Structure 1
Amino acid sequence: MFNCNDEREMVDITIEAQKIISCIYRMRERFGIGMVAEVLKGSRKAKILELRFDELSTHGIMHEVPLQEIKDLINFLVAEDYLELSNGEYPVVKLLPNAVLVIKGEAKVTQKVSQQPSRELVVEVNLFDRLRALRRKIALRENLPPYMIFADSTLREMAQVFPADHMAMIRISGVGERKLEKYGEEFLEEIRSFIEENGVVKSLVNRPMPSDSSTRPQSVRNPTQNQANKIPSHHQTYLLYQEGYAIEDIAHVRNVTVLTVQDHIVRCSLDGQAVRWDDFIPIGQEALILQAVNQVGREKLRPIKELLSDEVEWFTIRAVLEKHREIAEKE
């Protein structure tokens, strides 16, 4: 039935649709929604680099759009018969005839969107802004860059969950025991004040996140926690790594080279910090590197590199060596 009270407005999303369709075409219609969205976002995950999707003209073409929003747009195009999903356990995104008309500029794509954000979203955004302001104040007081207090992703989760006590706060990704002890009460007080001032309903307070909290990074063990402004440089890098930043992003934020960040991660591993080495090892390269190590030993990197193709990066070799050093030490 036609809804005459529908207050949503029609928005032209043709440009976004063309980017998505173009990316699917360049990926030869062989991958699912998640992989397409990651390429459009500009992810540099191992699988994307291995398939050389970072060389596509559409890689990162929607870097300013949240990943979930890209996925939602792809699903919208499926629902509107511009795309289709194949059958099977791992559905692949395919182009339909309507998509060809869009990419040629012969058809427009429109979508209805709400004119006004929900009160819940407005509350979340307002609290996020207040938490960022508090972080800025603490950063000035501590003479630290803001990201060393909490990352934006951590503040955003606080604004979604409304933690009201320490138990709820420690479950927030990126908090950890050290930061909870040092900054937790100030942020909790700001959240409590916001709740009282804005009449936030109790159902929103301490609400669970949809993601699995068991995957939350552990707190960083830092020997200089009472002198935060004297944290060793490689530990500062590790803090960002623990909060989910990619190596390239850490280099940009800290104004250092990618090589420096890689060195810092190795140093932290030698210090006993946990590093997920598989994140840095493309599928299929580990076995090749181990074969080379068996031939020339692990004392020097260059002899290993000379036995491998140019696609194998220096840091991948270091990652494999560190991974198996840790395995050997546990045995």
Structure 2
Amino acid sequence: MANPFPFSAIVGQDDMRLAFMIAATDPSVGGVLAFGDRGTGKSTAVRALAALLPKIRVVAGCPYNCAPEKRAGLCGACTNDAKGKSELRSAPVVDLPLGATEDRVVGALNLERALAAGEKHFEPGLLARANRGFLYIDEVNLLEDHLVDLLLDVAASGLNLVEREGLSLSHPARFVLIGSGNPEEGELRPQMLDRFGLAIEVRTPQEIPTRMEVIRRRDAYDRDPDAFHKHWAAAEKKLRTKITHARERVANVEVPEAALERATRLCVALGSDGLRGELTLIRAARAYAALEDVATVGDAELKRVAPMVLSHRLRRNPLDDSGSATRVERALQEVFAK
């Protein structure tokens, strides 16, 4: 679609929009899982984010979007090419369909060239296209187990290793994983759930004015997408600039010892498994601070991102039937009151 629904025109869903912007600011946060009701704009927000992202500089002609300034992470072809030409491309946002074959995901031998010319030529897959961008899986909880295992391996290493039909090669595959789905249709495997840095619960708005505004904007967009997009062009430009500046600032945002201690105490209080919770919490708070043009991570930043970082990392407590969001809010009050 030439003019997707503008990201800035999405009504409500503040947590979802913020989570996507944090992931766009700092990919090391680890991706976003948006779970919730059908028809709440999850897929719309992902498509809108794709149009909002700043362009990236890549090695000219590279199918893997290699970054010319990072020689250590280049694919084999770019490493051997000394010309160093580069070009700007739109940041990739790649859909991974539920019915995709493994060959389509990881890439495979080009059979036409193999039969016609007798040469082995690798046809890059979806993971190649998604490098340095976003890989989006709608209904991620319905993804086949063998593809889940494959994605877990690649997400952990940042490298796609292909060994099949006499081919043996690897290429960079670092991407931000975005998943959406309806929990009523099945739960997500714990190993996959842990790979998402941020998780948000998307609910249908209950406020009458909010629902009316959603319908009003969607109807206006469907009747005349070009005019609607033009109306929101200034807001989109402002939001794109905000993300660009946040990317430039995020490395300089300070995380004082007090903030690190708060983050650690919060994770201990919640009993979150491993140390990934603290690390993601700090990274997400830093990215949020960069978006808000704040130089130092403080309590406000930690409290804003904590629910989306920690809610999906909690152990189930048979003696506490409270929801994960309630448990996080309770822990926030206890830790930050001290």
Q: TM-score range by the shorter chain?
A: under 0.3
TM-score, L = length of structure 1: 0.26
Q: Which has the larger share of helix?
A: 1
TM-score, L = length of structure 2: 0.25
Q: Which has the larger share of strand?
A: 2
Larger CA Rg, structure 1 vs 2? 1
Q: Give the number of the structure with larger relative contact order, counting CA–CA contacts within 8 Å between residues 6 or more apart.
A: 2
